[in-house]
């Protein structure tokens, strides 16, 4: 059979639609059907605000099932629940640390030359909106084995990491097989990384005047005095890329408030805030759908299909002039179509978390340039631009210069032998030291995510029979054979995806892409604020126009106009920018 990505364009599009429709029927599983203690139900707001605004904790998106997708509810699954049992006896086979050392270690930086570094920052910014298992259970820890020849520093032995926190909703004494885990942020595409997943967090981030969010006169976000990191809705795994994007979209929120106040001068602070929040979240979803995704998956069929998710196959201009043609999501886009959860209530899934392990995007070293002439201002390593050290960098250079530096730098390619060295000996600000690559492998095993070959079969791909069927790189195939003791069914999902030969133009594997096909549309189709309530009555016509008429490029130019020369002729802000100077 000819792979879908080598078919003529019309047939490739039909294949993609077929994949998505089959997976909607066969790859959505509800973990809420497993045993659970009674849980309190969210209460509707007395003034009915939950009907027209996103709630802080994500409740009442589905009015018939108000708990669906809210914070502290379970991750769903894309594979049958009986395929998610944890093999405790095989949890360390092969040793995750050896998988990291032999297969993942970056020998030299392999760049993804079709992207800029904003693409790497963006996907972490977005995943912080979608999922978080929390920091783990400090009282229950895994001891990752270290071989005698392992150069791991003696002072940091043994390598211990907290286990994923248990699901507190399981009944007492339940052995939790198949396992379930809790998402500690909302499951919805609601910009919770910016605003938070609780009323208390939102309260701390607001000025409580004119609907706006807090930002300092120097253009930087306030600092959280407890950890020295920007005060935001979600601040885990912080680095300068997150400072840039959080600051940018706080400014965008405030700009939306200014425009709303012009159009609706009688509105109070809360009304301005709630509308700006919905508009800003939808703009981010649009940017991800029609800009970031086609940048990292550079195939013509993907460009068309992602535009179609938002606008429909009839296109943006048709929708702008004529409007929707019935309820068809194919012709007129998912946005504004009827809500549909298909075969399971909406939730982010464990398998979705697994396929978004994209740490090779991160460089170990960064060059920062002056926008005025393109000259090199300073270099820094990943440790120096992360955690509470980020503010020193943000204060030492204009943010416009930092945005430009990201725009002309490349992220890493998502492949074997390209995992950031500094993440393989990650030093957290709290003193923990561990190999994040080894932990990535362990987390999938611990959470019952099937290994690569079984995963392929469960999502409709053929199993591979030989290591050479995974990769055409003979060295990689031999390394896989050696590390996995010639047992192809033991290859970990992340490792198999990193090893795969990629479709032309793709930045990540076709196996990961199958989950993406399903969940990228599901994040829109299940959310009433992108479907039946994507209306002028809920957003205002001004808000819908703002979303339609803006992009990552216009947002950047609005708040950092100095970057405009570097964006001249650049249609996609996640593609490499023009270099300035000599």
| Residue 349, helix vs strand vs coil | strand
The catalytically annotated residue of 5, 50, 128, 341 is 128
Q: Kindly state the DSSP code that residue 450 receives in the 8-state scheme.
A: P
Cβ–Cβ under 8 Å, residues 331 and 313: yes
How far are the Cα atoms of 59, 62, 68, 275, 363 from residue 51, in angstroms, in the given order? 10, 10, 15, 13, 44
Cβ–Cβ under 8 Å, residues 579 and 404: no
* 128 tagged catalytic: yes
Neighbours of 418 (CB within 10 A): 22
Cα torsion angle, 166, 169, 173, 175, sign: negative
> Residue 377 belongs to what H/E stretch?
strand 376-381
Q: Give the tokens for residue 1.
A: 């059979």
> Residue 269 belongs to what H/E stretch?
helix 269-287
Q: Give the tokens for residue 456.
A: 């392929």
Neighbours of 344 (CB within 10 A): 20
* Measured distance between the N- and C-terminal CA atoms of the chain, rounded to whole angstroms: 50
Give one DSSP letter per residue of 200-254, joined into a string: HHHHHHB-SSTTPBP--TTSSPPEETTTTEE--S--TT-BHHHHHHHHHHHHHHH
Cβ–Cβ under 8 Å, residues 403 and 567: no
Q: Kindly state the DSSP code that residue 141 receives in the 8-state scheme.
A: E
Phi, psi of 368 (to 5 degrees): -115, 130
Cβ–Cβ under 8 Å, residues 68 and 40: no
Q: Nearest to residue 52, comparing CAs of 449, 515, 537?
A: 537
Phi, psi of 366 (to 5 degrees): -130, 140
Cβ–Cβ under 8 Å, residues 160 and 142: yes
Q: Which residues are catalytic?
A: 128
């Amino acid at each position: 059979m000819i792979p879908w990505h080598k078919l003529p364009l019309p047939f490739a599009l039909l294949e993609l639609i077929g994949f998505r429709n089959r997976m909607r029927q066969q790859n959505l599983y509800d973990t809420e059907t497993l045993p659970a203690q009674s849980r309190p139900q969210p209460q509707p707001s007395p003034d009915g605000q939950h009907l027209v605004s996103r709630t802080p904790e994500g409740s009442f998106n589905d009015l018939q099932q108000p708990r669906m997708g809210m914070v502290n509810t379970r991750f769903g699954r894309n594979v049958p629940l009986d395929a998610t049992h944890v093999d405790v006896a095989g949890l360390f086979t092969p040793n995750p640390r050896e998988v990291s050392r032999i297969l993942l270690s970056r020998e030299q930086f392999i760049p993804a030359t079709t992207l800029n570094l904003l693409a790497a920052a963006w996907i972490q910014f977005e995943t912080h909106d979608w999922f978080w298992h929390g920091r783990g259970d400090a009282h229950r820890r895994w001891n990752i084995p270290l071989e005698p020849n392992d150069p791991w520093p003696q002072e940091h032995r043994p390598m211990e990491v907290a286990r994923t926190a248990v699901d507190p909703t399981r009944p007492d004494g339940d052995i939790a097989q198949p396992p379930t885990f809790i998402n500690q942020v909302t499951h919805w595409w609601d910009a919770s990384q910016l605003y938070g997943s609780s009323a208390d967090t939102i309260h701390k981030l607001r000025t409580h005047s004119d609907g706006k969010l807090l930002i300092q006169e120097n253009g930087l976000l306030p600092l959280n005095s407890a950890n020295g990191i920007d005060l935001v809705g979600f601040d885990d795994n912080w680095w300068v890329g997150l400072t840039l994007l959080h600051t940018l979209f706080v400014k965008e929120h405030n700009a939306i408030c200014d425009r709303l106040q012009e159009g609706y001068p009688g509105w109070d602070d809360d009304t301005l805030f709630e509308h700006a929040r919905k508009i800003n979240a939808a703009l981010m979803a649009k940017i991800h759908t029609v800009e970031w995704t086609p940048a990292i998956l550079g195939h013509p069929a993907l460009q068309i299909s992602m535009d179609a998710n938002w606008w429909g196959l009839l296109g943006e201009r048709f929708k702008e002039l004529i409007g929707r043609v019935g309820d068809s999501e194919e012709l007129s886009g998912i946005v504004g179509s009827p809500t549909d959860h298909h075969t399971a209530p909406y939730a982010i899934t464990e398998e979705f978390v697994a396929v978004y392990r994209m740490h090779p995007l991160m460089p170990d070293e960064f060059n920062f340039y002056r926008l005025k002439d393109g000259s090199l201002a300073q270099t820094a390593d990943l440790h120096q631009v992360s955690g509470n050290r980020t503010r020193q960098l943000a204060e030492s250079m204009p943010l416009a210069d930092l945005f430009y530096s990201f725009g002309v730098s490349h992220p890493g390619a998502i492949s074997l032998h390209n995992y950031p060295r500094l993440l393989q000996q990650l030093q957290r600000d709290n003193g923990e030291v561990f190999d994040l690559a080894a932990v990535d492998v362990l987390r999938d095993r611990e959470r019952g995510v099937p290994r690569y070959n079984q995963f392929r079969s469960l999502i409709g791909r053929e199993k591979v029979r030989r290591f050479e069927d995974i990769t055409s790189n003979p060295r990689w195939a031999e390394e896989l054979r050696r590390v996995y003791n010639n047992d192809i069914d033991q290859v970990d999902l992340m490792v198999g995806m990193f090893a795969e030969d990629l479709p032309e133009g793709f930045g990540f594997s076709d196996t990961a892409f199958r989950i993406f096909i399903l969940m990228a549309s599901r994040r829109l189709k299940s959310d009433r604020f992108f479907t039946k309530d994507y209306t002028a009555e809920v957003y205002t016509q001004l808000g819908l126009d703002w979303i339609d008429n803006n992009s990552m490029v216009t947002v950047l130019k609005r708040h950092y106009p100095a970057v405009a020369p570097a964006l001249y002729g650049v249609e996609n802000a996640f593609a490499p920018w023009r270099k300035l100077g000599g």
